[in-house]
A = this chain, B = another copy of it.
Amino acid sequence: MAKRIAIVGYGNWASTIAKVVGENVQRYAEFDSHVAMWVRPKDINGRTLTDIINEFHENVVYLPSIKLPTNVVAYSCIKDTVKNADILIFATPHQMVQDVCTSIKDHVQSEAVGISLIKGIATKPDGSASAVSDEIRNHLNIDVSVLMGANLANEIAAGEFAEATVGCIHPEHGDMFQRMFDTDNFRINVVRDVYTVEMCGALKNIVACAVGFAEGLRLGSNSKAALIRLGMHEMIKFVETFYPGSDLKTFFESCGLADLIATCSGGRNMKVCRELVQSDKELHEIEKELLKGQSAQGPPTASEIYGILSDVGLEEAFPIFTVVHRICTRQVSPMELVKCLQNHSTHQTVQNRDDASSNSSGVSLE
């Protein structure tokens, strides 16, 4: 029987992926061409967004001016969206995962498989942090893969080129996801390192915050390149520490290197963090002014990662992740970022320095 696909989410990225998948499933007998998409029935001048999408095939709120294929059908009820699905695509903000999973828990087919497109860290009710895919796995008791990459949604929706990485344990699911997502202009590579792929998607937002601070401090290109490089080192070290067994090559996939570069070239995290350095305002005020109600993912991710690190006493082993959290929460001055560059733990120690003329900044060389 042809596999039915449901998309849990209706924002910019969810709508973009609905377009990609909606077009792609028509190429394969393997998939049912009907793609269900959960769309909360938000009121738009007296009509619901759900109805508007089904009549005009356009998400006028989150992906305006882009036609969705007519086989993508919006559902107001999240339970109806998922109940017949063999494949669930999760593309909500990470703050919603908990609630979404609770709502659909009793309606998901036991044999269904999931794939998470959510970049971030889930916070459990007890306040502890975990991978979003674990959150979904634990709630729904299904296999969950992930898709991450350098994926600015609007470019993909406009048909421009992008790549992405699918992290998937079972090779047969990997092949299926590749057929679901891969097009000439959206190239998918599949790797088995699920957590590496997922953590790259979350952690790169912290590095983008550091680059935003660097811009606010007017540091040069060498410093920004060093921050991205050292940030990548901390991403690798984090995965090696908390999800051992990763393959270094995965960091060279789109989910790693490419997404890190794209995110550090612009976007919300950079904008908010640049402004944080240049004003006295608190983060939430800056977000309100600059992002019109949207939020940057970097600062909450930095906070969640800081929680994980401090639970095991590893804050100092991840100096950039830690300093980003401390700067975001105004615990330390943004200038601490420069000391973090100078003294980063990956720098090799100079041997036999008989340093009479010690430096003026007083920074120790370990």
Q: Which of A's residues lie within 8 Å of B, judged by CB?
A: 26-30, 150-152, 155-156, 158, 160-163, 175, 178-179, 182-185, 187-190, 219-226, 228-229, 232-233, 236, 248-249, 251-254, 257-259, 261-262, 264-266, 338, 341-342, 344, 346-348, 350-357, 359, 361, 363, 365
* A258–B184 touching, CB < 8 Å: no
Complex Cα spacing A188 to B219, Å? 19
Complex Cα spacing A248 to B232, Å? 14
* B222–A156 touching, CB < 8 Å: yes
Report which residue of A26, A223, A233, A355 has the largest number of chain B beta carbons within 10 angstroms of its beta carbon. Answer: A223
* A252–B223 touching, CB < 8 Å: no
Other-chain contact of A226, B30, B163, B266, B346 (Cβ < 8 Å): B163
Complex Cα spacing A178 to B152, Å? 41
Given A152-B220, A155-B220, the answer on whether A225 and B259 have CB atoms closer than 8 Å is yes
Other-chain contact of A160, B179, B223, B229 (Cβ < 8 Å): B223
Complex Cα spacing A291 to B249, Å? 38
The closest CB in chain B to the CB of A355 belongs to: B27
Oligomeric state, in copies: 2
Q: How far is the CB of A277 from chain B (nearest CB, A)?
A: 16
The closest CB in chain B to the CB of A171 belongs to: B351
Other-chain contact of A29, B162, B179, B354 (Cβ < 8 Å): B354
Q: How far is the CB of A62 from chain B (nearest CB, A)?
A: 18
Q: Which residues of chain B are within 8 angstroms of A265 by Cβ–Cβ distance?
A: 221, 224-225, 265
Given A236-B252, A252-B229, A252-B232, the answer on whether A222 and B257 have CB atoms closer than 8 Å is no
Given A184-B342, A187-B226, A228-B258, 18 new contacts (CB under 8 A): A27-B357, A28-B352, A151-B222, A155-B222, A156-B222, A161-B220, A161-B222, A162-B222, A175-B352, A183-B359, A184-B363, A187-B344, A221-B265, A224-B261, A224-B262, A224-B265, A232-B257, A248-B248
